[in-house]
Amino acid sequence: MIAVALDESTEEVRGYTEGITYPVLIDRDRVITELYAISNVPTVVWIEADGTIARPNAAEPGTDMFVDFTGVSATPHMDAVRAWVHTGVIPDDGATSVEDLNPAEVQARLAFRLALHHRRADNPVRAEHWFDKAVKLAPLDFTIRRAAMPLRGDDPFGASFFELWEEWQSAGRPFHGVARG
C-alpha cells in the first residue's frame, strides 16, 4: 500500500499517520490528480506487480467513519483487496474505463497550481484570483473545489462542503472512475 496525500501541509498530514507503517507521500502540487485523473478522495487504484492497472480509480473509504453519510462501507473493498492480493482475482468493475480529464478540468488543475504558487509566496490576493478560476472551471471536482476550501479560509466540513455535496448529487455524482451507488 502506498498512500499519497493531496495536501499542502506536511505537519497536518503527519497528524493522521501515527502508527502507519506503509509509505505516506505528499503531493503538494497535485501531480497524481493529472496523471490518474483523480477527482475526489479517497481514490484507490489496484496495480499489479508489472505495473498493469488491475482496477482503476474507485472511491473506497479506509474506514466506516462516514458510512451513514456516503452509504459506502469499507469492508467489502478490503475483503476484495485481500482476495486480489492472495489469489489475483479481480472484480468485474476492474474493467471499467476511466474517462479522461476534459480541457476545463486540466485548466482547473493549472489554475489551482498557480493559486498554490501565489499562496506559498504569501500573495493571498493573487492566490484567491486563481482559486476562484479553478473552481469555476471544475465546480464539481473535489480535488479542486473542496481542496481549495481550507486554503481559502473556508471550512471543508462546513456549509460550503454541503453545498458542493448537493450540487454533486444533483449532477449525478460525476467521478473519474468506477461509479458507486
Q: Tell me: does residue 166 bind another protein (CB under 8 A).
A: no
Restricting to residues 42-71, which ones interact with another protein according to CB under 8 A?
A: 42-54, 56, 62
**Smallest distance, Å, CB 43 to another protein?**
5
Query: Counting contacts by CB under 8 A, is residue 75 touching another protein?
Result: no
* Contact flag: residue 93 with another protein (CB under 8 A): no
Q: Which amino acid is at 153?
A: G
Q: What is the rounded distance in angstroms from the CA atom of residue 121 to the CA atom of residue 83? A: 47
Select from 72, 74, 91, 118 the one that contacts another protein (CB under 8 A). Answer: 118
Examine residue 119 and tell whether it contacts another protein (CB under 8 A). Answer: no
Closest contact distance (angstroms) between CB of 28 and another protein is 9
Grid cell listed for 116: 498554490
Query: Using an 8 Å Cβ cutoff, are 59 and 168 in contact?
Result: no
Backbone angle region of 163, left / alpha / beta, with phi > 0 → left and psi within -120 to 50 → alpha = alpha
For residue 97, give the DSSP letter. P
Whose Cβ is closer to another protein: residue 158's or residue 171's?
Answer: 158
